[in-house]
Amino acid sequence: MPLMWMHTFSIQQRELHDSEARALLLKHNEYNRHIAAHIHAEALAGRGVMTSLTDCYGHTDYGEPIVALKSWIIAPFVDEANAPVLVRMILEARDHVERNP
């Protein structure tokens, strides 16, 4: 399920406001679900961090829900030095999803 490289901010605006981008939004929503599932499986296996997924972060102008990954650093012993672990897990999940469509 590899996605072609695109400019993050311009595609976000297009998906939010242009109903012609609906198919792309749905593809990105599904992509985010796969990323979240992989991160979750790795965390349950003791190899990563726990994140959350929302199926409705918001809505587009044309009524489609937007899927989003979420993460909160809430443990008192976690600091900015731990943030790279989250980034690494997201990048590893992306690579896994793109290798295993």
Confirm whether 3 is domain-assigned: no
pLDDT at 1: 47
Is 36 domain-assigned?
yes
Asked whether residue 28 is domain-assigned, the answer is yes
Record the pTM.
0.83
Give the separation between CA 26 and CA 46, rounded to whole angstroms: 31
In a domain, 49, yes or no: yes
* Domains held by the chain: number: 1
Q: Tell whether 2 is covered by a domain.
A: no
| pLDDT tens by residue, 42-93 | 999 998 888 899 998 899 999 999 999 988 777 788 788 878 988 999 999 9
**Residue 15 predicted with pLDDT over 80:** yes
- Which residues constitute the domain of residue 79? 8-99
Q: Let me know if residue 91 belongs to a domain.
A: yes
What's at 29, amino acid-wise? N
